[in-house]
């Protein structure tokens, strides 16, 4: 695990210190707490159930996607420096845990140790690591953003969306439309028509009867793919009928400072190396700090009520703490935060 993904020890201690005893645990996970007691805690928006041993020193924390065993050590542990470790590292002090915090956690006294617990509450619930389809499985059609430089038709696998197939219980089939979105803008009539044609080809029962009404389909679009599909609908090239869901990922529904800026610098006389530095996101002049590096939050929300969006993956309207590329599902999940679980969100969405 990369060091920058390991959570702060201070935050871990604070979460465990706030654990509350519960009478029972409701879950379909195969966990038990024989001769121990259940506690409930929250870390970075994620629920955890703790099974504390009889002597209160050792415990296991069970999460939806991660379980961690904690062992209390009476003696200091000597950690040897790795042989391949760099020699110019500075000392790390920011994650040290103050003794009062440990005292609150373990109830440390002169005579011994005992965890300090709060009053017991009702039963706690721990969700399953996976979700099943709650609706009707349907064909899924995926539109990428500005990615391909040539049309590739409809394929049944596409690396742009990584291993999304493993997290799509509502997709009865997988269809990835590969379109030239580099040389053709989202508002190009030809590109929009190709998007409609792809939807009609995948739509169940409407492949060759001349209809332009999309039925029984799940459309998943990333970035510019949303603008392209929205433009096709707005100009009447096709329309949405019954039993259709549109999953919009990082769509610039009100434009994008990032794409405007990149278009400007790449179309100028700047040295390619300098343009690459600018395009790397270092100097994009976003109007708001709430952005994914390319698209700002208000643009992604469009005309929807922004107050509906939260950073909980269980919410339909997901304001995740992810960058623009993360929302293609390409970089997997964050283990320690509900706000960094794009795959879990998509899997549990429909």
pLDDT tens-place string over residues 162-179: 999 999 999 999 999 999
Distance CA 43, CA 334 (A): 13
Q: Looking at the structure, tell me whether residues 14 and 51 fall in a common domain.
A: yes
Q: Looking at the structure, tell me whether residues 119 and 142 fall in a common domain.
A: no
Q: Looking at the structure, tell me whether residues 121 and 150 fall in a common domain.
A: no
Q: Looking at the structure, tell me whether residues 142 and 54 fall in a common domain.
A: no
- Residue 296 pLDDT class (50, 70, 90 cuts): confident
Q: Which of 46-55, 129-138, 279-288, 301-310 bottoms out in mean pLDDT, i.e. has the lowest? A: 279-288
Instruction: Tell me what pLDDT residue 75 has.
Output: 84
Q: Is 133 among the domain residues?
A: no
pLDDT tens figures, 219-228: 999 999 999 9
Between the alpha carbon of residue 312 and those of residues 77, 194, 287, 339, the distances in Å are 37, 35, 25, 6
Q: Is 112 among the domain residues?
A: yes
Instruction: Tell me what pLDDT residue 179 has.
Output: 98
- Residue 152 pLDDT class (50, 70, 90 cuts): very high
- Residue 44 pLDDT class (50, 70, 90 cuts): confident
Number of separate domains in the chain: 2
Q: Looking at the structure, tell me whether residues 173 and 322 fall in a common domain.
A: yes
Instruction: Tell me what pLDDT residue 259 has.
Output: 64
Q: Is 107 among the domain residues?
A: yes
Q: Looking at the structure, tell me whether residues 142 and 89 fall in a common domain.
A: no
Q: Looking at the structure, tell me whether residues 275 and 199 fall in a common domain.
A: yes
| Residue range of the domain that includes 297 | 138-349
> Which ranges of the chain would DSSP assign to H, the alpha helix?
9-17, 99-106, 189-202, 224-234, 257-266, 272-277, 297-301, 342-349
Q: Looking at the structure, tell me whether residues 176 and 310 fall in a common domain.
A: yes
Q: Please name which of 22, 120, 119 lies closest in space to residue 62, comparing C-alpha atoms.
A: 22
**pTM for the model:** 0.77
Instruction: Tell me what pLDDT residue 71 has.
Output: 86
pLDDT at 113 over 50: no
Instruction: Tell me what pLDDT residue 228 has.
Output: 97
Contact of 218 with 249, CB cutoff 8 Å: no
- Residue 252 pLDDT class (50, 70, 90 cuts): very high
Q: Is 315 among the domain residues?
A: yes
Q: Is 132 among the domain residues?
A: no
């Amino acid at each position: 695990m990369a060091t920058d993904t390991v959570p702060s020890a201070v935050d871990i201690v604070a979460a465990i210190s706030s654990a509350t005893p519960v009478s029972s645990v409701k879950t379909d996970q195969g966990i038990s707490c024989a001769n121990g007691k259940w506690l409930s805690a929250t870390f970075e928006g994620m629920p955890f159930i703790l099974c504390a041993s009889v002597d209160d020193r050792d415990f296991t924390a069970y999460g939806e996607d991660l379980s961690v065993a904690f062992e209390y050590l009476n003696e200091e542990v000597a950690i040897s420096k790795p042989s391949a470790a760099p020699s110019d590292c500075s000392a790390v002090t920011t994650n040290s845990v103050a003794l009062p915090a440990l005292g609150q956690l373990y109830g440390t006294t002169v005579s011994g140790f005992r965890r300090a617990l709060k009053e017991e509450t009702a039963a706690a619930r721990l969700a399953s690591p996976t979700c099943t389809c709650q609706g009707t499985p349907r064909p899924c059609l995926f539109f990428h953003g500005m990615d391909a430089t040539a049309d590739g038709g409809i394929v049944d696998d596409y690396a742009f969306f990584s291993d999304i197939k493993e997290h799509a219980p509502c997709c009865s089939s997988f269809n990835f439309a590969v379109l030239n979105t580099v040389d053709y803008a989202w508002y190009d009539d030809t590109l929009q028509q190709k998007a409609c044609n792809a939807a009609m080809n995948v739509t169940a029962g409407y492949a060759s009867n001349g209809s332009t009404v999309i039925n029984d389909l799940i459309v998943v679009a990333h970035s510019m793919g949303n603008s392209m599909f929205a433009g096709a609908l707005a100009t009447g090239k096709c329309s949405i009928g019954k039993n259709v869901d549109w999953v919009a990922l990082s769509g610039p529904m009100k434009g994008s400072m990032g794409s405007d800026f990149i278009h400007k610098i790449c179309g100028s006389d700047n040295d390619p190396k300098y343009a690459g530095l600018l395009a790397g996101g270092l100097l994009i002049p976003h109007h708001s700090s709430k952005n994914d590096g390319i698209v700002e939050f208000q643009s992604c929300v469009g005309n929807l009520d922004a107050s509906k969006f939260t950073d909980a993956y269980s919410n339909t309207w997901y304001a995740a703490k992810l960058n623009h590329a993360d929302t293609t599902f390409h970089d997997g999940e964050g283990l320690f935060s509900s706000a960094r679980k794009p795959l879990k969100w998509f899997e549990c969405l429909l």
